[in-house]
Amino acid sequence: MTTRLLQLVLRTESDVFVARQRAREVAAAVGLERQDQVRLATALSEVGRTLFTDRGGPPATGAEVWFGVDDGTLHVEVVAIGPTQAQQLPSLGRLVDSLTIDDGPTTTVVRMSRRIPVGAQLDQAGLDRIRAELAASAPRTPLDEMAEQNEQLLSALEETRAHRDELARLNAELEETNRGVMALYNQLSDELEETNRGVVALYAELDERSAQLRAASEAKTRFLANVSHELRAPVTAVIGLARLLDDPESDPLTEDQSRQVGLIRGSAADLLRLVNDLLDLAKAESGTIQPEWSDVDLGAVFSQLRGTVRALAVPSVELVVVDPGPATIRSDEVLLAQVLRNLLHNGLKFTVDGEVRMTASRVDEDWLIQVTDTGVGIAPELHDRIFEEFYQVPGRSPTGAPGTGLGLPYARRLVTLLGGTLTVASEPGAGSTFTVRLPAGGDGTP
Ligand code: ADP
C-alpha cells in the first residue's frame, strides 16, 4: 500500500520551481542518493515545464503532484487538468526508473518512480515521521531554488571537469602503454627474425650433413658389396683346394699337415660365412632386395623351420615350434623364413639348457611372431647395440658356436622391408624374447 508523503498543487509555471525543490526534499528524506535526488527533481521539473508551456497548443490549467512510497520505491504522480502537451515530454528515461504517461482528453497523468537503496529503506514509523516533517517545512522562494539549482549545476560541472581530467590522464597512460607495447613488439619481431635466420641456417647445415651421411653410408654399402663379392670366389676356392688336399684320393698327408689343412678349411669357412653375411646386409641396405609378395601359409613356414633347425639343437635344449593353425600372411616367404631361422639359430646358440620356443599370434591387423629362449639373456642397455653391425656381447656364445655380429642387423633390415618391426625383451639370466610384428595384409604393395 502506498504511503503518501506530500501533495502539491501547481497553478502556474513558477510553481514548478517549488515542485522541483520539494521533490528534492522528499527524495533526500526517503534516502535517495544525492545524484538520484537531483535526477528525480529534474524529471519532475521537466514534466511541469512541458505541461505548463504553450508549445503550439494550450497549456494545462493546473496540476496536482503526489509523492508516495510503496515497496521500497518512491513514486511521483502528476495529474494535470485540461489539454496538455504531454506528447512533447523530452526523454526522461535516464532520470527515473519508470515513467508512464496517461494522456486523456481532460486530464493527463504522468507517473514516475525511483527505487530507494535497500539499506536506506524506512519502516512505516519512519515514513510517518517524514510526512509530518514535510508538512511542517515551508517551501522556499523560486529565487532560493534558482540559487540552489545554480549550485548544483556548478558542482555537476566540477564533477564533469574532474571526469574529463581523469579521462585525459587515462588516455595519456594508454598512449604511453601503447608505445611500450609497440617497442616490445618490435624488439620481439627482431628477435624472432634473428632466431628464424638461425633456424634456417641450422636446417641448411643439417641437410648438408644428412646428404654427407647418406653418401658415406652408400659408399660403405658399395664397398662392402664389392669387397665381399670379390672375396667370395677366392675364399670358396681356398675351401675347395683344402678339401682336395685332404681328400683320401689325393696324396696322403702327414697327420700334422692334415691338421693344418683342417685349420685352413675351418678359417676359410668362417671367412666365407662373414663374406656371405656382409653381402646379404649390403644388398639389404642398398635397396636391391625387392620382396616378392604372396599369401604365405605361416603354418608351412613354421613346420619347414622346425625340420631344418632341429638338427642344430643340443639334447639339453628343446626346440618347440608351436603350430599357428590356419594362418595366412601377405609377405615374402623366403625373407620371412630367413629372419625366423636367424632368430631360432641365435636362441639355440645362446641357450645351454631349457627350450627355444616359436609362437605366432594375431593382434588386430598384425601377426606377432615370437622366439623365446631360456638362455643367457641380454642386459637392457645393450638392446639397441645388438642391432648394430658387428656388435657381439663380449664373452658370449656359451655353446661355442661362431658368429659375425651381422645376423640381427640383417634380420631387422629384412623385417623393415616387409613393413614390420623387430624388437627384443630380455634380462641377463632370464632368457630373451625377440618379437617380429608384421602387418597381416603386407605393406600394401600388391
Ligand atoms: P651373431 O652372429 O653374433 O649371432 P647377431 O647379430 O645375430 O650376431 O647377434 C648379435 C649379438 O646379440 C650376439 O653376438 C649376442 O651377443 C647377442 N644375442 C643375439 N641373440 C641372442 C639371444 N637369443 N640370447 C642372448 N644373446 C643374443
Quickly name the fold that domain 3-139 has.
Heat Shock Protein 90 (3.30.565)
158-288 carries CATH number 1.10.287.70: no
Ligand 1 binding pocket includes 348 (Cβ within 6 Å): no
In this prediction, residue 233 carries a pLDDT of 87
Nearest CA to ligand 1 atom 4: 403
Q: How far, in whole angstroms, is CA 219 from its chain's centroid?
A: 43
Segment 228-242, tens digit of pLDDT: 788 888 899 999 998
Taking the CA of residue 376 as reference, the ligand 1 atom at the shortest distance is 25
Query: Can you read off the three cell numbers belonging to residue 422?
Result: 623387430
pLDDT at site 399: 63
pLDDT at site 6: 93
Q: Where are the domains of the chain?
A: 3-139, 158-288, 294-439
The alpha carbon of residue 326 and the mean position of all alpha carbons in its chain are separated, in whole angstroms, by 44
- Taking only the tens place, the pLDDT of each residue in 155-206 is 889 899 999 999 999 999 999 999 999 999 999 999 999 999 999 999 999 9
| Confidence check: pLDDT of 52 > 90 | no
Integer Cα distance of 345 and 310 in angstroms: 10
- pTM for the full predicted model: 0.54
- Ligand 1, from 392, 415, 432: best to mutate by most atoms within 8 Å of Cβ? 392
Round to whole Å and give the CA distance between 228 and 220.
Answer: 12
Element containing residue 428 per DSSP (H, E): none
| Cα dihedral across residues 77, 78, 84, 88: positive or negative | negative
H helices within 247-321, ranges in order?
Answer: 255-286, 298-310
Query: What local confidence, expressed as pLDDT, does residue 390 receive?
Result: 87
pLDDT digits 0-9 by tens, 318-377: 999 999 988 999 999 999 999 999 999 999 999 999 999 999 999 999 999 999 999 999
Confirm if 291 and 418 have CB atoms less than 8 A apart: yes
Pocket test for ligand 1, best of 386, 397, 424, 427 (most atoms within 8 A of CB): 386
- Whether the Cβ atoms of residue 270 and residue 231 lie closer than 8 Å to each other: no
Atom of ligand 1 at shortest range from CA of 373: 23
Average pLDDT, the chain: 88
* Lowest-confidence segment of 212-221, 279-288, 352-361, 433-442 by average pLDDT: 279-288
The CATH number that domain 294-439 falls under is 3.30.565.10
Ligand 1 center from residue 175 Cα (angstroms): 73
Q: Is the CB of residue 432 below 6 angstroms from any atom belonging to ligand 1?
A: yes
Distance of alpha carbon 328 from alpha carbon 112, whole angstroms = 91
What atom in ligand 1 is closest to the CA of residue 410?
Answer: 6
Domains 3-139 and 294-439 share a fold: yes
From atom 7 of ligand 1, which residue's Cα is the shortest distance away? 407
CA dihedral 64, 70, 74, 75 (to 10 degrees): -30
